[in-house]
Amino acid sequence: MSSSYGTIELGGVTYLEKFWVYTSIFTVAASGYLQPRVTLDGDGGFLLKYLEVQYSQSGGLPNYFRIRLGNSDGSQWYSGAGIVAGGGANDRVHSALLLGNGQFPFPVIPYILYLPNGSINMDVQDISGNSNTIEMAFVGSKLYNQGNG
C-alpha cells in the first residue's frame, strides 16, 4: 500500500516518502518467549513512525507481554527498560508502555530507520500466563533516494 506524501532529508540525502505499513502476526505460548522478525522487501529504506498492536484477551483482560525492537544486525535494540547488567533478555518493555492502548498508532520518537534489505527484529515474552496471538503493524514511510547522495 502506498501513496506519495512528500520528501524528507536524512544525512544530506533527499528521499521521496511513501506511506507504508509492514505487518506481523505471531503467537507466544503462555509464559513463553519468541523472536519474530519482519524482513523488509529491499525496495527502499523504511522509516518507522508509529506502532499498532492487537492482542488476544481472556476474561476481558489483555494478555500483556514485554517487547523490544531491534535492527537487522542483531546488536542494535531501540527499546529497553534501561541499562541492565548483562543486557539482553531483561531489557524488554511492557507492551502498554511501548504500544499505548493499541487502539491508535503509537508514535515512535525519534523515528527508526531500517535499511532496504534489513529486518525489524522483535524480542517478545508473555507475562500474562496465557497464550498471546499478537498482530503488529509497523507504520511509516518507504524511502526512495532522489539521486543526491
Q: Which residue has the cell 544530506?
A: 12
Per-residue pLDDT at 22:
95
Q: Of 53, 85, 50, nearest to 66 (Cα)?
A: 53
**Cα 92 to Cα 114: distance, rounded to the nearest angstrom:** 20
C-alpha torsion 28→136→69→26, nearest 10:
30
Per-residue pLDDT at 20:
95
Per-residue pLDDT at 54:
83
- Name the DSSP class of 90: G
Residue segments in the chain with a per-residue pLDDT below the cut of 50: 1-3, 83-87
CA angle 115, 65, 88 (to 5 degrees): 60
Domain range enclosing 51: 4-145
Q: Is the bond leading into 110 cis (omega within 30 degrees of zero)?
A: yes
Per-residue pLDDT at 16:
92
Give how many domains the chain has, as a whole number.
1
Per-residue pLDDT at 143:
93
Per-residue pLDDT at 121:
93
pTM of the model: 0.84
**Cα 26 to Cα 140: distance, rounded to the nearest angstrom:** 21
What stretches of 1-146 show up as alpha helix (H) in DSSP? 95-99
- CATH number (domain holding residue 11): 2.60.120
Strands (E), the chain: 4-10, 13-28, 33-34, 37-39, 45-55, 57-58, 61-62, 65-70, 93-94, 106-114, 119-126, 132-145
Q: Find out whether 70 and 80 touch, Cβ atoms under 8 Å.
A: no
